[in-house]
Structure 1
Amino acid sequence: MQSVRMAPIIDGLLVVLSMLNNVQFVMSHPTHPGNIGAAARAMKNMGLSQLSLINPKQFPCAEATQRASGAQDILANAGVYDSLDQAIAGSRLVVGTSARSRTLPWPMLEPRELAEKIAQEPSTHPVAILFGTENSGLTNSELQLCHYHVAIPANPNYSSLNIASAMQLIAYELRMAALKFEHLETASEAEVDPGELPATAEQMDQMIKHFEQVLESTGYLDPVKPKMLELRLRRLFGKAQVTDSEFRMLRGILASIKKFE
Structure 2
Amino acid sequence: MRIVLVEPLYDSNVGKVCRVMKNFGFRELYLVNPQAPCGAEAEKYAKHAVDILKKAKIVKTFDEAVKGCYPIVGTTASLHKGESELVRPKPLSKAIGKIKGKKTAIVFGREDIGLDKDTLLKCDESIYIETSGDYESLNLSNAVAIVLYAFRLRWRDEPAEERAGPRLMRQALLCADEAVDAISKELLNPVKCKRALKNAIVRSYPTSEELRTIICVLKRFAKKMH
Which residue of the other structure, out of 72, 75, 92, is the alignment partner of 1:97? Answer: 75
CA 1:132–1:201 in 2, change beyond 3 Å: closer, same or farther?
farther
Question: Which residue does 1:86 correspond to in 2?
Answer: 64
Per the normalisation by structure 1, the TM-score is 0.69
Per the normalisation by structure 2, the TM-score is 0.77
Which residue of the other structure, out of 210, 221, 225, is the alignment partner of 1:246? Answer: 210
RMSD: 3.3
Moved over 6 A (4+): none
Residue 210 of structure 2 aligns to which amino acid in structure 1?
Answer: E
Question: Which residue does 2:105 correspond to in 1?
Answer: 128
Contact 2:108-2:114 at 8 Å conserved across structures: yes
Contact 2:89-2:128 at 8 Å conserved across structures: no
* Mapped partners of 2:152, 2:176: distance in 1: 38
Question: Which residue does 2:129 correspond to in 1?
Answer: 152
Question: Which residue does 1:174 correspond to in 2?
Answer: 151
Residue 129 of structure 2 aligns to which amino acid in structure 1?
Answer: I
State the Cα deviation string for residues 142-187 of structure 1 (Å, max 9, x = none).
Answer: 32344433321211111111111101122233344455x2xx7x69
Contact 1:92-1:198 at 8 Å conserved across structures: no
State the number of aligned residues. Answer: 221
Instruction: Work out whether 1:204 is the aligned partner of 2:169.
Output: yes
Instruction: Work out whether 1:215 is the aligned partner of 2:180.
Output: yes
Contact 1:107-1:147 at 8 Å conserved across structures: no
Q: Which moved more, 1:147-156 or 1:65-74?
A: 147-156
Structure with max Cα Rg: 1
CA 1:33–1:205 in 2, change beyond 3 Å: closer, same or farther?
farther
SS in 2 for 1:70: helix
Q: Which moved more, 1:232-241 or 1:246-255?
A: 246-255
Give 1:214 shift.
Answer: 4.3
Give 1:258 shift.
Answer: 5.4
Contact 1:112-1:173 at 8 Å conserved across structures: no
Contact 1:27-1:133 at 8 Å conserved across structures: yes
How many percent identity over aligned positions? 27
Contact 2:18-2:53 at 8 Å conserved across structures: yes
Question: Which residue does 2:15 correspond to in 1?
Answer: 37
Question: Which residue does 1:61 correspond to in 2?
Answer: 39
CA 1:220–1:34 in 2, change beyond 3 Å: closer, same or farther?
farther
* Mapped partners of 2:131, 2:75: distance in 1: 13
* Mapped partners of 1:219, 1:90: distance in 2: 30
Residue 205 of structure 2 aligns to which amino acid in structure 1?
Answer: Q
State the Cα deviation string for residues 110-132 of structure 1 (Å, max 9, x = none).
Answer: 25862x666xx6xx733221111
Which residue of the other structure, out of 10, 34, 55, is the alignment partner of 1:77? Answer: 55
The runs of 5 or more residues in structure 2 that have no matched partner are none
